[in-house]
Amino acid sequence: MRLVIIGAGFAGMYAALSAARLRDIQGVSPDEFEIALVAPEPTLVVRPRLYEPKPETLTAPLLDVLKAIDVVYVQGSAETIDTKSRSLQIAADGKRKSLSYDRLVVATGSRLFRPNIPGLAEHGFSVDSLDDAVALDKHLHGLAKRPAMNGRDTVVVAGGGFTGIEAATEMPTRLRDILGKDVKTRVIIVERNSAIAPDMGAGPRPVIENALRKVGVETRLGAGVASLDASGVTLSSGEHIEAETVIWAAGIRAAPLTAQIPAERDNFGRLLVDRDLRVPGVQGVFATGDAARAACDDDGNYALMSCQHATRMGAFAGNNAAAELLGVATRPYHQKAYVTCLDLGDAGALFTRGWERKVEMVGDVAKKTKQEINTVWIYPPKAERAAALASADPERVTNL
């Protein structure tokens, strides 16, 4: 029998680890029960850090850890899924191969949604994927060779949510490191809503507003980006901002593969799943991480498209898909604890707890936690079999 996991992000990695853990606990050999992980590269892209400098360093190898837990890595991109015959078509190096499954875990994550705004495709940068972040970094370094005029030192960030704020607050230092410490940088967040960080609620907002003031990030609220061209952006308010760098950070969608599963999806393209993270009505298919919309408690809260949720959801999906094949009980996914830790550049960070987002830490103390999350917690476990398997007990993963 074979369990196939598509995706090597936080959810896919933990799905593989927890499925292998349960197989090990049940004393079943990898010859009898194969676990295969399909992804274009055997690396974890540390997406939550892609707003940082040196993005090319923000990956972690997975091959050794997969080998240590007897998970087969299949290189390629899943192109089509046939849920009736339970098989995938995978494209790799210009060739196609097929792979059958008894259980499938869709962990294909998400990607930035780029609306059809004039000039966005040609002039917009982002920090969404590794390639995007590397392209932005290269562009920022290239600015040093250009004359200090025409908005060279100005960066517009479209979107005042978590990603936009992290990218913007990091930017003044990043620009000064590249262009010289005396350069007068201008960083502007454009947010359609009337308040910055619309999802954060009113409680923590003053901390963010103070931080923006401290690091010198301006905002334009209640206005959207209407168009981009080589000179900068024009806002829906009519204002034109000269900027050589525009970062799009407004909107995210589940990766397109979810559309191939004949099941219900939400507005973000996420597959609706039951408490075991199974896709109802489609035999043998589970969805997890940013590819799934799952209830995480009985109080009406749903998992967000976040690393924090993806990691734990991955562990439950892998465990449950394996449990069905091994004939043992599944475990309903639940995730009561929810925290946010928002990087605020030189102004430190903001740490909140609970869905009501109670501020628990700010400034340097919160920044230490952010650094620990971003450099330790979210990285794969070491390639040591026992420790790696133990790290994937679904009840313990991301139990904050």
Ligand X SMILES: Cc1cc2nc3c(=O)[nH]c(=O)nc-3n(C[C@H](O)[C@H](O)[C@H](O)COP(=O)(O)OP(=O)(O)OC[C@H]3O[C@@H](n4cnc5c(N)ncnc54)[C@H](O)[C@@H]3O)c2cc1C
Residues that bind ligand X (CB under 6 A): 6-12, 38-40, 47-48, 50-51, 77-78, 107-110, 127-128, 162-163, 166, 255, 257, 289-290, 305-308, 310
Residue closer to ligand X, measured from CB, 152 or 312: 312
Residue closer to ligand X, measured from CB, 128 or 153: 128
| Least separation in angstroms between CB 378 and ligand X | 8
| Least separation in angstroms between CB 213 and ligand X | 22
Element (H, E) at 293: strand 292-293
Alpha carbons 373 and 343: distance in angstroms, whole number: 11
| Least separation in angstroms between CB 261 and ligand X | 12
- CB-based contact 271:291 (threshold 8 Å): yes
Contacts of residue 235, defined as CB under 8 A and 6 or more positions apart, other chains included, come to 190, 220, 223, 224, 225, 226, 241
Residue closer to ligand X, measured from CB, 222 or 381: 381
Residue closer to ligand X, measured from CB, 152 or 398: 398
Residue closer to ligand X, measured from CB, 39 or 282: 39
- CB-based contact 126:167 (threshold 8 Å): no
Contacts of residue 331, defined as CB under 8 A and 6 or more positions apart, other chains included, come to 276, 316, 319, 320, 323, 394, 395
Alpha carbons 211 and 218: distance in angstroms, whole number: 11
| Least separation in angstroms between CB 256 and ligand X | 8
Residue closer to ligand X, measured from CB, 239 or 346: 346
- CB-based contact 77:90 (threshold 8 Å): yes
| Least separation in angstroms between CB 32 and ligand X | 25
* Of 144, 145, 249, nearest in space to 197 by CA: 249
Residue closer to ligand X, measured from CB, 109 or 119: 109
User: By beta-carbon distance, which residue lies closest to ligand X?
Assistant: 9
Residue closer to ligand X, measured from CB, 175 or 350: 350
| Least separation in angstroms between CB 164 and ligand X | 9
Can you list the positions of beta strands (E) in 21-82? 34-39, 43-45, 59-61, 72-75, 77-82
Residue closer to ligand X, measured from CB, 326 or 374: 374
Strand arrangement, sheet containing 72-75 = 72-75, 34-39, 2-6, 103-106, 285-287
Alpha carbons 77 and 261: distance in angstroms, whole number: 16
Element (H, E) at 158: strand 154-158
| Least separation in angstroms between CB 278 and ligand X | 17
| Least separation in angstroms between CB 323 and ligand X | 20
Alpha carbons 82 and 262: distance in angstroms, whole number: 10
| Least separation in angstroms between CB 55 and ligand X | 10
